[in-house]
Structure 1
Amino acid sequence: MTGGLIASGIVGTAGAHPSPGGDSENHAEGMRLFSEQAVNGTTEVVTQNNYVYAATGSGMAVVDGRHPGRPELVATLTANDPAGGILDVKVDGNLASLASNGGPGVTLVDISTPTDPQEVTFYRTGHSVHNNFLADGYAYLTINESDEAPFSEARTDIIDVSDPTSPEKIGEFRLSDHFPAFAAAGINPCHDIYVQGDFLYQAFWDAGVVITDISDPTDPTLVTQFGDAPGADTPLPSSSRDERYLTLPGNAHYVQPSPDGQYVYVGAETFPGGYVENPDNDDYGGISVFDVSDYDAPKQVARIDPPEIDVFRTSHNFDVTNNQLHASWYNGGVTLHDITDPANPTELGHYAAEGSSFWTAVRSRGFTVAGDIGGGVVFLHPDEGTAQPPAFDGDERPTEPEIEHQ
């Protein structure tokens, strides 16, 4: 693989599982289908208190996972206008937030009774919100406003939602304020965000990851930036910008720190092959591991390759625990890695199934819960279950990034 994220000094690389022979076969080694629940329109899924919350395009669905062998769809909610294109859901306590990729803001939902979610309000940003995060009474929203160049005003807005009936913007972190050349290059949206403790982690595509201190959310301050691809600060003509945007190097798509904050995992989403002018370009994005124990000198220590299976298999969303990484790879399925030693990740399991394309994978009480795009939620287990695909019909993976290149 080529790549600006594949920096010198890499200590370990996790190899993918051998190919099962193409997209017409099912594959389950160390990870099997334990149970499933159909949910029309499924994209992102998150878990809280044994419930699974799934974004559905038009709103949200809730699956009761208290009995993982027989999960049950217990609620659906259609968000009111002007919400639309809801690809992302987050939950924190009694509140859920639904980001409108096709609407101008986020929908806030009371989930104090998970079986009866109630829309509280729609917070207008004036711009689409691809991803968001909820933590400690604040909502963090990706905003990709443009001025002269695409994504030139990429930022994270910080909204006080302690009173969800009256949300209020109180702060922002704007890429152009700190890295004007990255902002002007036209290839660096704020694609996804993660909050842990006093830190906000932001994936800015070819500009890499920016960590900010949000101990005072009204005044986020820069901590460090790393993982940018060569040329990420150089504007390109529109004729060559698209291929650069769709392929490696770069493409920091999703970010999550280890629970202790010493490491940061960065997934790259790529759209090679027939989706760019060069059909011989088949480099798929993996997950890079950075040691950030010294914020002045972050360094890449490992890279997890995509599964070696002849399908569309770029990295998408994932979940990091103290010693495991649960990851989705679109048609490439779901993997589980031991990251006890982050510099030497080891694959523990891989599940892929004909007709399935996975948006995300998260932990849940000894299971991996994954969102099969358009079809529903699956519970995967290391030992028990089947190698077969779920019974419901899923959708094909997207053919371009969810944030369209402008």
Structure 2
Amino acid sequence: MPLDPTPSRRTVIKSLAAAGVLGSADAASADPPGERDEQLRLFSEQAADNAMEVVTQQNHAYVATGDGMAIVDWRNPSRPELVADIEASDPDEIGGDDEGSVGGILDVKVDGDLAAMAHNGGTGITTVDVSDPENPDELAFQNAGHGVHNAFLKDGYAYLTINESDENVFSEARTDIVDVSDPSDPEKVGEYRLGDDFPEFAAAGVNPNHDVYVQGDLLYQAYWDAGVVVADVSDPTDPELVAQFGDAPGADTPQPDPFPVERYYAGEGNAHYVQPSPDGDLTFVGDEKFPGAFQEDPPTEEFGGVRIFDTSDWNDVEQVGFIAPPDVDVGLRTSHNFDVTANRIHTSWYNGGVRVHDITDPTDPELLYSYNPEGYSFWTAVRGRGFTLGGIYGARSDIHDGGVVFLHADRGQRRAPSFEGSAPPSGPEIDVDEEE
């Protein structure tokens, strides 16, 4: 999900609906001809109300639910079970900053016995002990002073997306680095600030820090129109620039007032999610775009896909491949979150479903499998234990559930989940705490 740049979000949502980009939950969403024999099979499923981001570690899946986190035990993948569902506590209830606030949890992460809930509608993260997944224990609230759209946990540190503003929207975009080696007493120890190395990008107002990924000593940051910025965090107290690439034309040009929502949501750029290959030689950048709200005939192959960059040499980064969005006539079908393995990428496309591509030749990715049941919208696709886990985006409605589906290429049934499908997204941004 993109960050909401201005109070004009309602106007954008109305224009999306008027343009027909939102679709309806019962619209046809069959895979294109010729792909029927390549569908992933539904092996099992588990409903989880208001599901958004899903991550998996060994035998458990962790699900962001807006107001908290659900945990699914899938030691037996044929019978997954919801074993915990917690609502984030107020900071003062768990020894946190009384000035902080919780809510709008779109993202969770887990590393070993520690999980973190990121408060997009609040001001920080909550650390959670998940050594016993059936009894998760909130440990502390780290007040970052701003909403945290996404976060990452690795080796005793949490990396938080922060988008502070002064007169210009997103002018203080950065990553906060928090020491969580003692998760009951987290402490900020460093930051990477976009404006330190790229002041023009920071001042332009269209370059929020949307998501982060850490591999080895490298922090990968998706800065929307500014593309990807990679920093060395071998010393988390003093991150150093490694490379920047994939920016959109004009990403360093200050934007006019009122804020150009068409440019922000539908223009070139929109680096939404980033993840390297396990060896780091490739970096995958998902662009989230919504052109149907602003263009009468939006392109079908040129927007909202996944760009593939050769990053084997940081001094000579170049784009070598592209994965186009599904060509399906329903709802939103732009790239959202994905997971990269040595030779596969597992992708989610909202109403475009879940897809798996062979990336052995990154210049020519090959579609292997897809899963796109009618009326469902997917937030996440992630690999685990030989399965593709699809996170079904739960609508804010008493009559719809989100959840997790466990998909397999050969085992299971060719059918939709049995729990109710979620409605399509209500637009390019979600504010969990906002009243309808």
TM-score with structure 2 setting the length = 0.85
Give the AA of the match of 1:323: N
Secondary structure class of the residue paired with 1:392: coil
Is residue 115 from structure 1 mapped to residue 134 from structure 2 by the alignment? yes
Correspondence for 1:169: 188
Correspondence for 2:198: 179
Correspondence for 2:290: 271
Correspondence for 2:177: 158
Is residue 51 from structure 1 mapped to residue 60 from structure 2 by the alignment? yes
- Offset at 1:211? 0.4
Give the AA of the match of 2:356: L
- Offset at 1:370? 1.0
Give the AA of the match of 1:344: D
Correspondence for 1:18: none
Correspondence for 1:337: 357
Secondary structure class of the residue paired with 1:238: coil
Q: How do 1:75-90 residues align onto structure 2 when only pairs under 5 Å count?
A: 75-81=84-90, 82-90=101-109
Is the contact between residue 228 and residue 247 of structure 2 (CA under 8 Å) also seen in structure 1?
Answer: yes
Is the contact between residue 145 and residue 153 of structure 1 (CA under 8 Å) also seen in structure 2?
Answer: yes
Determine the C-alpha separation between the residues in 2 that align with 1:253 and 1:402: 15
Selected match of 2:297 from 280, 283, 293:
280
Correspondence for 1:9: none
Is residue 24 from structure 1 mapped to residue 51 from structure 2 by the alignment? no
Determine the C-alpha separation between the residues in 2 that align with 1:54 and 1:398: 20
Selected match of 1:71 from 66, 71, 80:
80
- Offset at 1:403? 8.5
Correspondence for 2:427: 399
Is residue 250 from structure 1 mapped to residue 269 from structure 2 by the alignment? yes
Determine the C-alpha separation between the residues in 2 that align with 1:334 and 1:59: 25
Q: Percent identity?
A: 61
Is the contact between residue 289 and residue 334 of structure 2 (CA under 8 Å) also seen in structure 1?
Answer: yes
TM-score with structure 1 setting the length = 0.91
Give the AA of the match of 2:407: L
* Higher mean C-alpha displacement, 66-75 vs 232-241: 232-241
Secondary structure class of the residue paired with 2:264: helix
Determine the C-alpha separation between the residues in 1 that align with 2:40 and 2:258: 43
Correspondence for 2:14: none
> Structure 2: where are the runs of 5+ without partners?
1-25, 91-100, 395-401
Secondary structure class of the residue paired with 2:260: helix
Selected match of 1:215 from 225, 229, 234:
234
Give the AA of the match of 2:152: F
Give the AA of the match of 2:278: P
Determine the C-alpha separation between the residues in 2 that align with 1:348 and 1:398: 30
Is the contact between residue 209 and residue 228 of structure 1 (CA under 8 Å) also seen in structure 2?
Answer: yes
In structure 2, relative to structure 1, the CA distance for the partners of 1:83 and 1:240 (3 Å cut) is closer
Secondary structure class of the residue paired with 2:262: helix
- Offset at 1:348? 0.5
Determine the C-alpha separation between the residues in 1 that align with 2:328 and 2:166: 41
Deviations 1:326-351 (A, max 9, x none): 00000000000111222221111011
- Offset at 1:181? 0.6
Deviations 1:63-122 (A, max 9, x none): 011111111111111101231000000000110000001001001100000111011111
Determine the C-alpha separation between the residues in 2 that align with 1:403 and 1:138: 27
Determine the C-alpha separation between the residues in 2 that align with 1:403 and 1:220: 31
- Offset at 1:282? 4.5
Q: How do 1:1-12 residues align onto structure 2 when only pairs under 5 Å count?
A: none
Give the AA of the match of 1:279: E
Deviations 1:224-247 (A, max 9, x none): 000000000011223461101001
Is the contact between residue 176 and residue 190 of structure 2 (CA under 8 Å) also seen in structure 1?
Answer: yes
Determine the C-alpha separation between the residues in 1 that align with 2:344 and 2:317: 21
> Structure 1: where are the runs of 5+ without partners?
1-21
Aligned positions, number:
381
Which structure has more strand as a fraction of its residues?
1
- Offset at 1:38? 0.4
Is residue 136 from structure 1 mapped to residue 155 from structure 2 by the alignment? yes
Correspondence for 1:377: 404
